[in-house]
Amino acid sequence: MGKTYEIVPEGGITAPKGFKAGGLHCGLKKTDRHDLGAIVCEVPAAAAAVYTTNLFQAAPLQVTRESLAEESVLRAVLVNSGNANACTGKQGEEDARTMRAELAEALGVPKHQVAVASTGVIGELLKMDRVSSGIAQLPAKLRGDAQGSDDFCQAILTTDLVKKTACVRLDVDGKTVTIAGAAKGSGMIHPNMATMLGFITTDAAISAALLQELLREATDVTFNMITVDGDTSTNDMVIAMASGLAGNRELSRDHADWTAFADGFRYVCRELAKAIARDGEGATKLIETTVTGAESDEAARAIAKTIIGSSLVKSAMFGADANWGRIIAAAGRAGVPLNVHTVDIRLGDISVLEQSRPVAFDEEAALEYLKGDTVAIHVDLNMGSGRAVAWGCDLTYDYVRINAAYRT
Amino acid sequence: MGKTYEIVPEGGITAPKGFKAGGLHCGLKKTDRHDLGAIVCEVPAAAAAVYTTNLFQAAPLQVTRESLAEESVLRAVLVNSGNANACTGKQGEEDARTMRAELAEALGVPKHQVAVASTGVIGELLKMDRVSSGIAQLPAKLRGDAQGSDDFCQAILTTDLVKKTACVRLDVDGKTVTIAGAAKGSGMIHPNMATMLGFITTDAAISAALLQELLREATDVTFNMITVDGDTSTNDMVIAMASGLAGNRELSRDHADWTAFADGFRYVCRELAKAIARDGEGATKLIETTVTGAESDEAARAIAKTIIGSSLVKSAMFGADANWGRIIAAAGRAGVPLNVHTVDIRLGDISVLEQSRPVAFDEEAALEYLKGDTVAIHVDLNMGSGRAVAWGCDLTYDYVRINAAYRT
């Protein structure tokens, strides 16, 4: 049994050495909640990012891409909520550039070392006077403690109900390395990135190239395996920054502590992904779908995502209805081959289908289980060793309420 | 301007010469509504069918396939609602065969000239004593008038609120040809067939092979272009029967009246498809999405289906919210290339986006328009001449209510 990571429940994105964060209300949200925030690193941090697959990419994504293309190094990430700055044409791009330049100047760093992210309504121009005055006040709000992390986390929320963070600690070369993350996302959430905003900080020494590979791999099995509503946003990205201040020898895939580090990194991504799914718009519960026995991991992923994305499955879970017919129907339309005679389905520990045949089960016990705040759906295809896990949430009255009048 | 068809608003599936239909309550539904019905042709009818693409296909589909494989001729279609006879193993298949055999015997026709269809809950065995006693009473219920059509239409409904029929009349060789259809479908409705039950009757003389081609072509642009919830049922099919009793010279693609006939056939399919979308579970309105200016019809279809399937678009339409950002975001994730700078979007006659830039529009007028019972979304990509139309409905509290407790 190799070394592993330790979970730090109270840790936030400022826990790794070198990072400060903060947030404030500049006036983009109608409420008085924070709507502008930043993460700042006291040294140039090796940086990596993954972006939405939506063809309509918001202005801040273009600008962030340009920043990272320069030298894959970031000193700061600036985020606003309340307005996505998407489908805003040339003016929107100019606004994103202005945001980047203003924070760079306020911090005294090159502008290509600043990334920009936005989330909120599509198609409206940013109120730049408010944003600019907020940016001017932001440096004074930055803190290296839990409050700084908390303020930032509040600043990135839209319809989210809870702040989402995760943190782990592990030893690398006898030095303590910390990995932390923060995320937002509640609607327009769907596999293939395109999902939400995620920010990972670590004080490990790691090259930007390896950090990019790790982020991509981790995203595939975490952020890309969640869905709230099947919709893919124009704005979403995950950014990782490594300050290197932990003092470890630079990580490589051959490093003795690589596995522990990569596991810890994936843990942080997975916890954030699950937190987003659980906090899906209107959701009352987290649904975790595990598909095993598939011909390949890819086939398992397709089926897990189809089940977790099915409106009928999601509604049934809201109603605590053990309606496995909808689960098998979703599996059957996932677009991958399967043996229709060998499927097992369990809800938690309750077997409801074996070899594609209904099993008499205790409906009362199933109802009790499905009323819980976490539901595990396990589908075993009994064909091969392919495996995948996907996360989502139930479809509720509140999802409809929230989305029937989002702009108003 | 060539000849065309005439719409017959009052016409039902018994309008074409040679067809009778009927329905009764045998006890599969908890209410006293009809749950068993049949369409019967007094002569062997040339027949065609298309089936769900779901890998889990219900027992009646297997049996119907076998019937049609024999000689593509049908004398009767037997349908029950309240139980899908899907995922019911060998017993389910035996039950579907028994249904077929019992109706064939009651009518005195070969059993391969009988098709069987079922719709309702998945995974429960049919109460065959009730079904059998219903089948025994069914021949006495068959009528060639509007009442027969009406009784049949009621017998095939599940969560549908309204019966769905369409009928046209046209001249072929100076003879009056009638084409009529009936359909059911409200949930588990999604493009690529797999959609619902549809029954088309006509008294035209047409070969089974050509009827099959026409049904397939018409399905692609009608039944395959609707979605209620993205879910694809295990049970659905469309069956077409042609009695040939109109007395026309057999139709072929070279026949002078072919275009009028094919247009009329497509009209009947389209009206049924739209009626299903409008009657989607919990729906308050029909949404028609037209995509033009695409690189190909196929690309237009992909985008139209993605928009009509977006939970966020559907929720916004329920809330009469002119949230075009969700429409463009859906277009951007449809998986086909598009120019992100040249998109126009109209809601009805109200332009909201031109060349991918927001247009100032009258929000009051938009609200008024979107409150109507039919909403047209028009997306012009300004790239080519590809075109498609898709139909769906809004996502409402009632959709959730209906599906949170379907089995209970």
Q: What is the pLDDT of residues A207-234, one digit of tens each?
A: 999 999 999 999 988 888 887 665 556 7
B175, two tokens? 């003879």
CA B83 centroid distance within chain: 19
User: Is residue B191 predicted with pLDDT exceeding 50?
Assistant: no
- How does pLDDT run across B282-322, given as a tens digit for each residue? 889 999 999 999 999 999 999 999 999 888 899 899 989 88
Q: Cα distance from B53 to chain A (closest Cα, Å)? A: 7
Query: Which residues of chain B are within 8 Å of residue A406 when distances are taken between CB atoms?
Result: 316, 319, 321, 323
- How does pLDDT run across B70-104, given as a tens digit for each residue? 999 999 999 999 898 988 889 999 999 999 999 99
Burial A20-57 (b: 16+ CB within 10 A, else e): bbbbbbbbbbeeeebbbbbbbbeebbbbbbbbbbbbbb
- Give the confidence band of B231 by pLDDT, cuts at 50, 70, 90: low
Report the alpha-carbon distance of residue B375 to residue B392 in Å, rounded: 10
A373, two tokens? 């705040």
pLDDT at position A190? 46
Radius of gyration of the CA atoms of chain A, in A: 22
Do the Cβ atoms of B342 and B381 come closer than 8 Å?
yes
B392: CB partners within 8 A, 6+ apart: B226, B227, B228, B277, B280, B286, B287, B289, B308, B309, B314
pLDDT at position A216? 92
Cβ pair A329:B188 closer than 8 A: yes
- Give the confidence band of A89 by pLDDT, cuts at 50, 70, 90: confident
Cβ pair A84:B55 closer than 8 A: no
| SS (HEC) of chain B | CCCCCEECCCCCCCCCCCEEEEEECCCCCCCCCCCEEEEEEEEEEEEEEEECCCCCCCHHHHHHHHHHHHHCEEEEEEEEEEECCCCCHHHHHHHHHHHHHHHHHHHCCCHHHEEEEEEEECCCCCCHHHHHHHHHHHHHHCECCHHHHHHHHHHCCCCCCCCEEEEEEEEECCEEEEEEEEEECCCCCCCCCCCCEEEEEECCCECHHHHHHHHHHHHHHCHHHECCCCCCCCCCEEEEEECCCCCCCCECCCCCCHHHHHHHHHHHHHHHHHHHHHCCCCCCCEEEEEEEEECCHHHHHHHHHHHHHCHHHHHHHHCCCCCHHHHHHHHHCCCCCCCCCCCEEEECCEEEEECCEECCCCHHHHHHHHCCCEEEEEEECCCCCEEEEEEEECCCHHHHHHHHCCCC
Cβ pair A312:B229 closer than 8 A: yes
Give yes or no for B399 touching A (CB within 8 A).
yes
pLDDT at position A120? 85
- Unique residue bearing structure tokens 């200016």: B293
Do the Cβ atoms of B147 and B21 come closer than 8 Å?
no
- How does pLDDT run across A161-199, given as a tens digit for each residue? 788 899 999 999 999 999 999 988 765 544 333 347 889
User: Is residue A252 predicted with pLDDT exceeding 50?
Assistant: yes
Which pairs from A17-20 meet CB under 8 Å and 24+ separation? A17/A178, A17/A203, A17/A243, A17/A245, A17/A246, A18/A42, A18/A43, A18/A45, A18/A203, A18/A243, A18/A244, A18/A245, A19/A144, A19/A201, A19/A203, A19/A241, A19/A243, A20/A142, A20/A143, A20/A144, A20/A148
Do the Cβ atoms of A228 and A277 come closer than 8 Å?
yes
Q: Which of A333, A340, A393 to mutate against chain B (most B CBs within 10 Å)?
A: A333
Nearest C-alpha neighbor of B117 from the set B165, B71, B82: B82
Cβ pair A316:B404 closer than 8 A: yes
Mean pLDDT of A45-63: 88
Cβ pair A408:B234 closer than 8 A: no
For residue B104, which amino acid is it? A
Do the Cβ atoms of B345 and B377 come closer than 8 Å?
yes
Give yes or no for A302 touching B (CB within 8 A).
no
DSSP A80-111: EEEE---S-HHHHHHHHHHHHHHHHHHHTS-G
Q: Which of B51, B315, B328, B364 to mutate against chain A (most A CBs within 10 Å)?
A: B315
Report the alpha-carbon distance of residue A396 to residue B212 in Å, rounded: 41
Report the alpha-carbon distance of residue B78 to residue B23 in Å, rounded: 10
Q: What is the ipTM of this complex?
A: 0.73
Closest CB from B312, B321, B353 relative to A231 = B312
> Mean pLDDT for chain B?
90
Domains and CATH numbers, chain A: 6-275 (3.60.70.12), 286-404 (3.10.20.340)
Cβ pair A330:B231 closer than 8 A: yes
DSSP secondary-structure letter at A285? -
Which chain A residue has the Cα nearest residue B236? A329
Active site positions of A, annotated? 195
- For A16, B55, B69, B166, the CA distances from A40, given in Å and listed in that order, are 12, 51, 70, 65
Active site positions of B, annotated? 195
User: Is residue B212 predicted with pLDDT exceeding 90?
Assistant: yes
pTM of structure: 0.80
- Give the confidence band of B118 by pLDDT, cuts at 50, 70, 90: very high
User: Is residue B65 predicted with pLDDT exceeding 70?
Assistant: yes
User: Is residue B406 predicted with pLDDT exceeding 60?
Assistant: no
Do the Cβ atoms of B376 and B285 come closer than 8 Å?
no
| Cβ atoms within 10 Å, residue B408 | 10
